[in-house]
Structure 1
Amino acid sequence: MCTVGGPMADIKMKKLKTKRYKCLDCGNDFKGLGKRVICPSCQSDNVECLD
């Protein structure tokens, strides 16, 4: 985990409410959260929520 000058946050990743997404450009399936989800493989925001 990297930080940029602030205190390090101890976040329990399993407790976050992630959703499953599929990238419509490269076909990658992944979990994400937030309002503007991007594909970790190709950086596209052309994604579809599967949940």
Structure 2
Amino acid sequence: MCSTGGPMGENLDVKKLKTKKYRCLDCGNEFKGLGRKIICPSCQSPNVEEI
């Protein structure tokens, strides 16, 4: 049986990722996010804006 690579993120340096700052329009939480579908980590709302 073949295997390709090790565990995901093994060589991933989180500090080098280009995150953006967001504000939740429902609870006011400010946080950094990465990706296309940003969700507030505090209240799980997708109602966020980039700041």
Indicate the structure (1 or 2) with the bigger Cα radius of gyration: 2
| TM-score (structure 1 length as normaliser) | 0.80
Q: Structure 1 unaligned segments of length 5 or more: list them.
A: 1-5
Give runs of ≥4 in structure 1 deviating > 2 Å.
Answer: none
| TM-score (structure 2 length as normaliser) | 0.80
Structure 2 residue aligned with 1:3: none
Give the superposed CA RMSD: 1.3
Could you tell me how far 1:9 is from its partner in structure 2? Answer: 1.7
Structure 2 residue aligned with 1:7: 7
Structure 2 residue aligned with 1:20: 21
1:1-41 per-residue CA deviation (whole Å, 9 max, x = no partner) reads xxxxx724221111001000000000000000100000000
Q: Aligned residue pairs: how many?
A: 45
